[in-house]
């Protein structure tokens, strides 16, 4: 899910604030061989381990930050070296842990996954070659392992362009990655998915599976086939309602004001995606607007490696001049890249980049948060306080700045 919104920005700040100790990995036994794993690296993600006479097969590997705890949890189950890892899609909460097992496991994924793990914001993950899939497919394939046929089938197009489902044919379980989200309105990838096509992607999976299949959701609770059908119906009906209102010429705001999705309000409980956000997303998806969005992070990354911060500035101005970008040059990507530099302890360069961002976007609060964070990391309390205060002037309800000011002044 997930990189162009304030939610993501707050998430990345949280990851700077907390150590890895508070991240958790929990295991639930589903059958003699099948285990559901829940890794919490800031928010929880579910995935699957399959252990038997042939060894360990892992479907997804959680976050980078939970990888060590995942390995320790697998060791307790008797095997911490997968023969296969099946990666369901590009997102860091699903493939971030691939690296921890080194070169031995054979990683399987959709053909589009390989390039996705090395483009856009994902370039910052700097995945080693061995963490990428070495066996890829476009339609379907099977792995015969631990006495069972494991069917792997492409269900691309909704959440991302590389989603797959994994069906354990004997155990009776299917794992659909983020094409199963409990009963919640799901999130999707603005660069590689299209949420108006979510319903058809999920339907493809359901139609291929037996009636007694049980589902493990990437996020949220497990589902029966009846619940999965109900959830798919929610996706289909909400998309259709939005399509009909669009046909009447309505814009996003009037659909939100008229609460056209009020019937599905229960699907937003627990802090998941709101009906208003879903209206906006599906609207854009139907219009095909998301297809013009691009990410500049990979451009900044390459520029930085060629000529440091000055080269990023040059690249930024070149992209800004490029008419095809229009409003799509997203300032938060400068923030993302500065956060990447800070994570590498390049404090002086982080400060330079935030200062540049502020000169371009003096009214965006999060750049001041970032600059405050960089000065705080440097040990410059005075400047840290100054810039967190500036952030609060712009956005008084900014809880991150309030929290950080409290921490710094109590030091
Ligand atoms: Zn995802």
Short-list 267, 24, 28, 46, CA closest to 166:
46
CA of 284 to the centre of ligand 1 (A): 19
CA of 239 to the centre of ligand 1 (A): 20
Give the pLDDT confidence score for residue 18 in this predicted structure.
42
CA of 254 to the centre of ligand 1 (A): 29
CA of 21 to the centre of ligand 1 (A): 24
In terms of pTM, does the model score above 0.75? yes
CA of 251 to the centre of ligand 1 (A): 28
C-alpha neighbours within 13 Å on the C-beta side of residue 409 = 10
Q: Which fold has domain 22-248?
A: Metallo-beta-lactamase; Chain A (3.60.15)
What is the spatial distance between Cα 204 and Cα 191, in angstroms, rounded to a whole number?
A: 22
CA of 187 to the centre of ligand 1 (A): 7
CA of 93 to the centre of ligand 1 (A): 7
Give the pLDDT confidence score for residue 325 in this predicted structure.
54
CA of 249 to the centre of ligand 1 (A): 32
CA of 165 to the centre of ligand 1 (A): 13
Q: Are 170 and 149 in contact (CB under 8 A)?
A: yes
Give the pLDDT confidence score for residue 99 in this predicted structure.
96
CA of 188 to the centre of ligand 1 (A): 7
CA of 33 to the centre of ligand 1 (A): 25
CA of 152 to the centre of ligand 1 (A): 17
CA of 341 to the centre of ligand 1 (A): 25
What are the structural domain ranges in the chain?
A: 22-248, 297-409
Asked if 22-248 and 297-409 have one fold, the answer is no
CA of 290 to the centre of ligand 1 (A): 17
Give the pLDDT confidence score for residue 88 in this predicted structure.
98
CA of 179 to the centre of ligand 1 (A): 8
CA of 91 to the centre of ligand 1 (A): 5
Burial of 253 (0-12, 13-18, 19+ CB in 10 A): exposed
In the predicted model, what is the mean pLDDT of the chain?
91
CA of 140 to the centre of ligand 1 (A): 20
CA of 219 to the centre of ligand 1 (A): 9
Give the pLDDT confidence score for residue 2 in this predicted structure.
34
What is the spatial distance between Cα 39 and Cα 64, in angstroms, rounded to a whole number?
A: 10
What is the spatial distance between Cα 71 and Cα 80, in angstroms, rounded to a whole number?
A: 6
CA of 18 to the centre of ligand 1 (A): 23
Residue 54 token pair: 């042939």
CA of 227 to the centre of ligand 1 (A): 20
Instruction: State the 10-residue block means of pLDDT for the chain, 411 residues long.
Output: 35 43 93 98 96 98 96 97 98 96 97 93 93 98 98 96 97 97 91 90 97 97 97 96 96 96 90 90 82 80 96 93 66 94 96 97 96 96 97 95 94 79
Give the pLDDT confidence score for residue 330 in this predicted structure.
83
CA of 159 to the centre of ligand 1 (A): 7
CATH of domain 297-409: 1.25.40.10
CA of 383 to the centre of ligand 1 (A): 37
CA of 375 to the centre of ligand 1 (A): 33
């Amino acid at each position: 899910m997930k990189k162009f919104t304030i939610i993501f920005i707050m998430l990345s700040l949280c990851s700077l604030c907390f150590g890895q100790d508070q991240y958790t990995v929990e295991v639930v036994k589903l059958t003699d061989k099948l285990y559901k794993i829940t890794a919490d690296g800031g928010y929880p993600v579910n995935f699957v381990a399959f252990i038997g006479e042939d060894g360990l097969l892992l479907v997804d590997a959680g976050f980078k930050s939970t990888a060590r705890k995942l390995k320790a949890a697998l060791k307790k189950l008797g095997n911490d070296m997968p023969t296969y890892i099946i990666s369901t899609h590009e997102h860091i909460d699903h493939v971030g842990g691939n690296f921890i097992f080194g070169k031995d496991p054979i990683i399987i994924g959709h053909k589009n996954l390989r390039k996705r793990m090395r483009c856009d914001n994902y370039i910052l993950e700097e995945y080693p070659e061995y963490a990428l899939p070495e066996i890829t497919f476009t339609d379907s394939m099977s792995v015969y392992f631990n006495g069972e046929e494991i069917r792997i089938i492409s269900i691309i197009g909704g959440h991302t362009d590389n989603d797959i489902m994994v069906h354990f044919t004997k155990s009776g379980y299917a794992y659909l990655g983020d094409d199963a989200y409990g009963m919640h309105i799901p999130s999707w990838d603005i660069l590689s998915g299209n949420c108006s096509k979510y319903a058809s992607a999920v339907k493809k999976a359901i139609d291929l599976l037996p009636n007694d299949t049980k589902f493990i959701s990437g996020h949220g609770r497990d589902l029966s086939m009846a619940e999965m059908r109900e959830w798919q119906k929610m996706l289909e009906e909400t998309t259709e309602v939005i399509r009909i209102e669009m046909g009447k010429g309505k814009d996003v705001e009037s659909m939100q004001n008229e609460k056209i999705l009020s019937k599905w309000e229960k699907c937003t409980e627990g802090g998941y995606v709101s009906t208003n956000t879903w209206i906006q997303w599906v609207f854009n998806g139907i219009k095909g607007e998301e297809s013009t969005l691009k990410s500049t992070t990979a451009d900044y990354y390459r520029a930085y490696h060629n000529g440091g911060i000055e080269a990023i500035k040059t690249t930024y101005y070149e992209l800004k001049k490029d008419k095809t970008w229009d409003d799509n040059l997203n300032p938060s990507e400068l923030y993302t890249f500065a956060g990447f530099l800070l994570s590498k302890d390049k404090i002086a360069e982080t400060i330079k980049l935030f200062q540049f961002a502020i000169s371009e976007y003096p009214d965006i609060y999060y750049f001041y948060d970032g600059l405050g964070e960089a000065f705080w990391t440097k040990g410059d309390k005075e400047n840290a306080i100054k810039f967190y205060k500036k952030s609060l002037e712009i956005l008084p309800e900014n809880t991150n700045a309030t929290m950080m000011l409290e921490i710094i002044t109590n030091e």
